[in-house]
């Protein structure tokens, strides 16, 4: 198999294959500088264990700008990465000589931020003589579910929902990710940030709306539900269709919902004119509509494809209503739902190490010739040819 990074087959004898592996993961795709050590356990049902997971968040730095400033993020990664990696190795009680491989996010993300992690990881791998694995960021989010819950029932439908991505994947077997649907415009997390700014809650918007919405009436405001018609015009890829060959529309759209909130706030005289109750009601209603939209699509695709489980990962999976409603709906509809803990929901390096282990277990690693890729396709991680 060949990907953007260039794949090298790693041949192992039986004794090497049975050896417990320690992988250092590095993540710098956006505004978190993260490093983690993940080890294999030798237990098929729970194959990996997190020995250390360190994250240096830049949320406080970017808050005054109302969002992530790429140049500032890159410079802060340079300042933080050595200390974060040293802390991860120390927390794990691991020395460089104890590592079997390194894994690093190659993309997608902010290219300047990615370059910091990629450059550090390649230099470290060359210095200690260990293989390196280039990892797709979304593969990391998917593997965070397996990292926490072990071997979940397959095939699974996995929703990855964050500030930059809202996509549905089918996972027919470990390490294989097939595109089923994605947002046509704003990602759900991006919509959370924009709506939070419009109603005066600041950045980051997701946690702010989640917190304020607890005091609001989620039916007090009339907001539209994103809907698509003519499913036959926007079918699922052939290789992930149900047996009837007539899949539902699996795409998402949040731009119209965001615009509806903007118009509502303007009609009420702007954010300054909103009462605390009005802000809570708007936040609660917006959050409800987003969660319902995400879950309707996810469960519809899961039932169409006969999935045995559902996974939800990414930063927005930390949302309390999404977690609660997904679990409750899964119980009602007889489909188990798996969500990683909060520490593995937002960007972190443990998930990158897990995705790297998944590739290493297939006998793959990347040479040192790969580069950061801001819009990296996931074809090298088991997607159908041409999928993004």
* Whether pLDDT at 291 is above 80: yes
If you average pLDDT over each of 8-12, 27-31, 33-37, 234-238, which comes out highest?
Answer: 33-37
* Whether pLDDT at 236 is above 80: no
* Whether pLDDT at 372 is above 50: yes
Q: Which residue has the tokens 């010739």?
A: 369
For residue range 311-368, list pLDDT tens digits in order: 999 999 999 999 999 999 999 999 999 999 999 999 999 999 999 999 998 888 898 9
* Whether pLDDT at 30 is above 60: yes
Long-range contacts of 227-232 (CB under 8 A, 24+ apart): 228/253
| Lowest-pLDDT choice from 96-105, 223-232, 280-289 | 223-232
* Whether pLDDT at 223 is above 80: yes
Order of all β-strands in the sheet with 101-107: 7-9, 364-366, 132-136, 101-107, 22-27, 32-40, 48-57
Q: Span 380-386, mean pLDDT?
A: 36
Average pLDDT, the chain: 87
Q: Binning pLDDT at 50, 70 and 90, where does residue 68 land?
A: confident
User: Percent of the chain having pLDDT more than 90?
Assistant: 72
Q: Span 151-171, mean pLDDT?
A: 93
Cα–Cα distance measured from residue 231 to residue 297, given in angstroms and rounded to the nearest whole number: 12
* Whether pLDDT at 244 is above 50: no
pLDDT of residue 66: 81
pLDDT of residue 15: 40
| Lowest-pLDDT choice from 33-37, 232-236, 252-256, 262-266 | 232-236
* Whether pLDDT at 220 is above 50: yes
Q: Please, is 195 exposed, middle or buried when counting C-beta atoms within 10 Å of its C-beta (0-12, 13-18, 19+)?
A: buried
pLDDT of residue 379: 53
Q: Span 368-380, mean pLDDT?
A: 83
pLDDT of residue 228: 62
| Lowest-pLDDT choice from 60-69, 128-137, 266-275 | 60-69
Which has more pLDDT, 367 or 26? 26
Q: Binning pLDDT at 50, 70 and 90, where does residue 3 land?
A: very low
Cα–Cα distance measured from residue 370 to residue 119, given in angstroms and rounded to the nearest whole number: 10
For residue range 97-118, list pLDDT tens digits in order: 999 999 999 999 999 999 999 9
- C-beta of residue 200 within 8 angstroms of C-beta of residue 266: no
Residues listed for the chain? 388
Q: Binning pLDDT at 50, 70 and 90, where does residue 241 land?
A: low
Measured in whole angstroms, the distance separating CA 149 from the mean position of its chain's CA atoms is 16
The set of residues, in sequence order, having a beta carbon less than 8 Å from that of 309 and lying 6+ positions away, is 152, 153, 154, 156, 157, 335, 336, 337, 338
pLDDT of residue 237: 55
Domains and CATH numbers, the chain: 7-142+346-381 (3.30.420.40), 153-335 (3.30.420.40)
* Whether pLDDT at 18 is above 50: no
Q: Among residues 144, 183, 142, which one has the least CA distance to residue 166?
A: 183
pLDDT of residue 44: 84
For residue range 173-185, list pLDDT tens digits in order: 999 999 888 898 9
Q: Among residues 198, 3, 16, which one has the least CA distance to residue 106?
A: 3
Q: Binning pLDDT at 50, 70 and 90, where does residue 229 land?
A: low
């Amino acid at each position: 198999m060949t990907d953007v990074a260039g794949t090298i087959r790693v041949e192992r004898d039986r004794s090497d294959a049975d050896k417990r592996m320690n992988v250092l993961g590095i993540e710098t795709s956006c505004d978190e500088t993260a490093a983690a050590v993940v080890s294999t356990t030798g237990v098929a049902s729970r194959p990996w264990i997190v020995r250390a997971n360190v994250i240096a968040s830049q949320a406080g730095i970017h808050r005054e700008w109302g969002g992530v400033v790429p140049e500032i993020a890159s410079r802060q990664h340079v300042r933080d990465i050595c200390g974060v990696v040293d802390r991860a190795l120390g927390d794990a009680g691991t020395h460089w000589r104890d590592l079997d491989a390194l894994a690093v996010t190659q993309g997608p993300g902010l290219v300047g931020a990615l370059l910091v992690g990629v450059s550090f990881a390649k230099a470290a791998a060359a210095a200690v003589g260990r293989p390196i694995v280039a990892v797709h960021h979304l593969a990391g989010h998917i593997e965070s579910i397996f990292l926490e819950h072990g071997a979940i029932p397959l095939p699974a439908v996995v929703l990855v929902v964050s500030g930059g991505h809202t996509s549905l994947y089918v996972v027919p077997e470990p390490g294989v990710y097939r595109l089923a649907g994605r947002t046509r415009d704003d990602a759900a997390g991006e919509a959370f940030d924009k709506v939070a700014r419009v109603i005066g809650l600041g950045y980051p918007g997701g946690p702010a709306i989640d917190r304020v919405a607890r005091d609001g009436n989620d039916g007090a405001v009339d907001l539209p539900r994103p809907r698509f018609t003519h499913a036959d015009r926007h079918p699922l890829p052939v290789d992930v269709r149900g047996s009837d060959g007539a899949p539902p529309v699996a795409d998402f759209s949040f731009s119209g919902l965001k615009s509806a909130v903007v118009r509502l706030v303007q009609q009420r005289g702007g954010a300054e004119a909103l009462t605390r109750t009005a802000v809570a009601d708007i936040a609660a209603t917006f959050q409800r509509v987003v969660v319902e939209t995400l879950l309707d699509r996810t469960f519809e695709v899961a039932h169409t494809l006969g999935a045995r489980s559902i996974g939800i990962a990414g930063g927005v999976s930390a949302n309390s209503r999404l977690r609660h409603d997904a679990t409750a709906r899964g119980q009602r509809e007889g489909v188990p739902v798996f969500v990683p803990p909060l520490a593995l929901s937002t960007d972190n390096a443990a998930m990158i190490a897990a995705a790297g282990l998944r590739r290493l277990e297939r006998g793959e690693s990347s040479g040192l010739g790969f580069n950061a890729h801001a819009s990296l396709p996931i074809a090298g991680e088991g997607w159908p040819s041409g999928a993004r």
